[in-house]
Amino acid sequence: MLLHRALRRLAAPSALLSAPLKRLNLPIRTQFLSVSASTSSGEPSIPSEPIRPELKDPVSSTTQTEQTEQAEQAAPKKPGKLPYFVARNNLNNLGVYHRNKRGGNLKVTLVKNGEGDLMALKRDLQEALQLKDNEIAFNSITGHIVIRGHVKLQVFNFLYSMGF
């Protein structure tokens, strides 16, 4: 007659317990401070001043203002001034995805995680990507913007330029 599983002994085989434990040696990166042969005291040579590259002639104030104006123009817009906001997901990525529909014949790009006035985001995307009215749509139930074609990189570039 077989013993029920609940009544069986719970001890491990003794062969496993008697085997010697093996130690794993993992490579560890070490760093040493090198001592130059020219020092007689045995202490490492440390330069008294940090090495800095030679500076060229100072730039005039007019070119500095021009540079700041160019930097402001090249900088992306602040997302706080826009009527919409595109949030990032838990991996800190923008919610732009490719989808294949109708057996792979229809290629679609989805923009998710939008908040605020998403119709304005749709209009801005339509202008920036030069899309026709029938190529971009807004789903008010899911809050997604659906674009025909795989244009994920262009949407990323637009959203990055807007400061998202």
Task: Kindly report the CATH number assigned to the domain that includes residue 114.
Answer: 3.30.780.10
Question: Does the residue 151 lie in any domain?
Answer: yes
| Closest to 129 measured CA to CA, from 108, 112, 151, 114 | 151
Query: Mean pLDDT in the chain?
Result: 74
Residue 94 within a domain: yes
Residue 126 CB burial class (10 angstroms; 0-12, 13-18, ≥19): middle
| Residue 20 belongs to a domain | no
Amino acid 81: pLDDT: 83
pLDDT of 10 > 70? The answer is no
> Is position 33 within any domain?
no
Q: How many domains in the chain? A: 1
* Three-class DSSP category at 112: coil
Kindly state whether residue 11 falls inside one of the protein's structural domains. no
- In tens, the pLDDT along 122-157 reads 999 999 999 999 999 999 999 999 999 999 999 999
In a domain, 132, yes or no: yes
Residue 31 lies in a domain: no
| DSSP 8-class letter at 26 | -
pLDDT at residue 72, rounded to an integer: 54
**What is the residue range of 90's domain?**
79-161
Position 89 in a domain = yes
Helices (H), 86-117: none
pLDDT digits over 63-92, tens only?
555 555 555 554 554 545 889 999 999 999
| Whole-number Å distance between alpha carbons of 56 and 72 | 25
Q: Is the pTM of this model over 0.75?
A: no
